[in-house]
Structure formats: structure tokens, C-alpha cells
Structure 1
Amino acid sequence: MSGSFSDDVQSAIDAIRVDVARLHGELTRYGLVVWTSGNVSGRVPGADLFVIKPSGVSYDELAPENMILCDLAGTVVPDTPGSERAPSSDTAAHAYVYRHMPDVGGVVHTHSTYATAWAARGEEIPCVITGMADEFGGAVPVGPFAIIGDDSIGRGIVETLTGHRSRAVLMQNHGPFTIGATPRDAVKAAVMVEDVARTVHLAREAGPLIPIPPEAIDRLYDRYQNVYGQADDARRVPPAQDAPAQEEIYA
């Protein structure tokens, strides 16, 4: 594959480049990353392609023209803007998710402090606050330990989240990965998983946690995903096989 595309596909690539570059700023805005760690990627609609950040580049230097275009094998598409740089070290993981979860349009990875602390213990975040029931439909699960560099992390993400309502997984000893129908949706999940990780940690430090009954979690999740927001908001498609429908991000 070379960097020659139809006008429609090229327009879609250009739009995703802008979106992904901008969304990296949300990771720094919410304090989810330090130095050059973390990454956002976005699937190109209508093509077997995705856009991801370059490896080891300062967030201040990220721009649409240096986002890297890859195919779904995780190979950089030659003769495209940014193709002279190495893509994120997590590119193989993102590519695996896109290949095996066709409804996923965005993937995010951070080392956000509290979520990573839960991952370091290999402990899921229990569903003990209503906002967590709303957003994740239950506990945030833990994925297996995997080494960076090949698609092992991607396999762990897919195995853990397939059929699960959560859009976040805590990869053991590593940190959170989130998925979404769009890159923005995945970034929202990254922001929210750090928020609940912090809140539940502080609550447990103060005393015993009070679980939310499963039937109440189901009701809260259904209301938030299907009622909350404006009537003309587009609803999310499920990112995992057999997972219940979820909503698009609400501002």
C-alpha cells in the first residue's frame, strides 16, 4: 500500500489526523500522561487504516502532519506525512484491536496514576459509585500481563473486553487501555477510568466499600446509555461482540 488514496479516503485520513493530534492535548489537560508516554489512535472510516502518534515525540510537537498512518497490520503507510518517523511502541496493540473489534473507532493508552496503581496490584476497580455504573456498566476489569512490542497487549485487550460492558481495561503491571466508537469516545473513557480509580481508592482508604447491587448497576447503565443526553445525540455502537449498546460521548 502506498500513500495514494481516493478523494473520500484522503479526506477521512485528513480529518482523523486533525482529531487524533488534538485529542492528545486532552491527555495532558487531564493529567493522564507524563513526558512522552501514552497514545491516542483513530480508525479511518471507510478504509483499513488508522492514525497514531509518533514514538517519543513531545506532546507540544504533535500536529496533524506528524501523525502516522498505518494499515491494520500496524505497518506504516509509506510516502505519507509522518511516515519517516517510527510510530508509537503500542502500534501493534492498537492494530490488533482494530482487526478484531471492527466497531472500535478509537484506542487510548495512558499511565494515569490511580488507574495504573490498580493495574500494578492486578486488581479490578469494583463498581461502588453510580457514575461508574453509568459509564462502565460494572467493574473495570484487569487484563493479563504482556510485554510491549508485539500484539500481546492487543490480544489481552480483546480477550478481556469482548462481551464486557467496560470500555476500559487495566493491563496488569502496565496501565489502562480504553476503546470507543470514536477517538474522542476512547479519550472520554480514559478520563473517566482515572476519575473512578482515584475516587474508589480514596473511599477504600477511609473505610469499607459498599457494593451497588447488580440490578441497580444494570438500571443505571441502561439509563445513562439510552436516556441521558439530548434526543438527537448519536448512540454508540457496541465495541465488543455481544456487548450491549452504548452511547456516543456527551459534552
Structure 2
Amino acid sequence: MKKATTVEGLIEQLIDVGSTAVRQGFVLASGGNLSARLPGSDEFVVTASGTWLDRLVPGDFATMNLKGEVVGGPSADNPRPSSEWKLHQRTYLVREDANAIVHIHPQHAVLVDALGHRIRLLTLDHAVYVRSVGRTDFHPNGSDELADAAAEQARHHNCVILSNHGCSALGEDIGMAFRRAMNLEEAATATYRALTLGDTTATFPMPADGAIQHA
């Protein structure tokens, strides 16, 4: 996925990611929300309240600024941004390098965390793209507590588990944010399978200096 250079391009890519996320079982019905911005911008587009990620159209996005104000769109049929807009806004405030945030509800990531296990990185892709996993305690969706806790974790991690809820993955562009979300769920699935086999220790052999890169 190439980096989008226009707001229209961002929306087109978010529509594609939403459809893929539902098709792969990462989210159901009107769960989850997506956002993106152009590099250096203090405005971002975010899915509107009540939208289904596999049925998005360009009118299903609100434009907000980093003060939390709606400055454009969405259509009259969707007058409000997602109830989770603070989750996106607060993360952008602490991560100037982040230009996209994918918030979905991946089953294995939520389950493994709810059972009290850490998600282990087991493959090169997990280590390169996820690298580390943050987490928050449970807070009501749309709350300041959830948004602030997630943003604090995002200072140090590109993937954050929201306890008993879902995950938030961020990246320098939409493709990277979604790639991280997918690898997080794959790592969680691998962790779950390892646990069913009685293994609690297998993990990727991370170099001491953390210097790894994909081929």
C-alpha cells in the first residue's frame, strides 16, 4: 500500500482497510474505528459514529483537529465522529510520527490478555512490525481515561492492547498501522496455540541491542 498524498487518498485507503479488517474477522458490525492524517497536519479524518467498517463510503468520515474540534464532514446521515475519537486525538498529540491509527477488536489478542498472559512475539515479522506490546486496564469506551491511558502506552509502543476491548495500532502511514495490527493478532494467535501445547516460554530470539530489520 503506497502512502497517500491527499485526504481523499487517505479515505480511500481507510475504506479498503475497513473492508479487509471485517473480512478477516478482526471486528464485527459497528465495532472499531480508523483514522489518518497527512504528515505534519494538525487535522485528521476519523470514521463516523455507528459506521460499519466493511460498508464505509467517503461520507462516513469526519475531519477533526488536534484540539478535538470537528472541522469538516461527515454527511448529514452521520453527523458525529466515532465515540472513540479521543483515543485517536490523544495518541496523535503524543506521537508526532504517527499518521494513522487502526482500532479493531481482534479476538485472540483480547482473549490472551484477558487470561493474564502476555502476547509473545514468535516470528521475524512479529519482532520487526510489532516489536513491543503495551496494554491498558479496562476503561469505558470513549472515555478520557481510556484515551489517556492508550496515549501514554503509545509513547513507547506501536501496538496497545485495550483490556477486554480491543487494540490500537499506529504507524507512519495507513499500511504500516494495519500491518502492525495484523501482526499483533497473528502473534496473539501463535501465543494462544503455544499455551494450548503447554508452552509458556517460546519467543523470538531478539538480539541484545534490538537491532533487527526485515529482509
Q: Match for 2:136: what amino acid?
A: G
Work out the number of aligned pairs and report it. 210
Q: Report how far residue 46 of structure 1 moved.
A: 3.9
CA RMSD of aligned residues (A): 2.4
Alpha-carbon distance between aligned partners in 2 of 1:190 and 1:56, rounded to the nearest angstrom = 21
The reply to whether residue 176 of structure 1 matches residue 154 of structure 2 is no
The equivalences for 1:177-196 within 5 A come to: 177-196=168-187
The reply to whether residue 148 of structure 1 matches residue 141 of structure 2 is yes
Structure 1 residues 188, 128: closer, same or farther in 2, change over 3 A?
closer
Q: Match for 1:191: what amino acid?
A: M
Larger Rg: 1
Q: Which structure 1 residue ranges, 4+ long, deviate > 4 Å from structure 2?
A: none
- In structure 1, runs of 5+ residues without a counterpart are 1-10, 229-251
Alpha-carbon distance between aligned partners in 2 of 1:161 and 1:47, rounded to the nearest angstrom = 19
The reply to whether residue 61 of structure 1 matches residue 55 of structure 2 is yes
Structure 1 residues 212, 33: closer, same or farther in 2, change over 3 A?
closer
Q: Report how far residue 130 of structure 1 moved.
A: 4.1
SS class of match (2:41): coil
Alpha-carbon distance between aligned partners in 2 of 1:155 and 1:129, rounded to the nearest angstrom = 31
Q: Match for 1:218: what amino acid?
A: P
- In structure 2, runs of 5+ residues without a counterpart are none
The equivalences for 1:18-37 within 5 A come to: 18-37=12-31
Structure 1 residues 98, 141: closer, same or farther in 2, change over 3 A?
closer
Q: Match for 2:68: what amino acid?
A: G
Deviations 1:142-191 (A, max 9, x none): 22322222332222122223234xx2111122221111111221111111
Flag the structure with higher strand content: 2
Tell me the percent identity: 25
Q: Report how far residue 221 of structure 1 moved.
A: 5.8
Alpha-carbon distance between aligned partners in 2 of 1:163 and 1:59, rounded to the nearest angstrom = 28
Alpha-carbon distance between aligned partners in 1 of 2:203 and 2:39, rounded to the nearest angstrom = 38
Structure 1 residues 123, 130: closer, same or farther in 2, change over 3 A?
same
User: What is the TM-score normalised by the length of structure 1?
Assistant: 0.74
Alpha-carbon distance between aligned partners in 2 of 1:171 and 1:59, rounded to the nearest angstrom = 19
Q: Is the 8 A contact 1:118 1:170 kept in 2?
A: no
The reply to whether residue 124 of structure 1 matches residue 129 of structure 2 is no
Structure 1 residues 117, 212: closer, same or farther in 2, change over 3 A?
closer
User: What is the TM-score normalised by the length of structure 2?
Assistant: 0.85
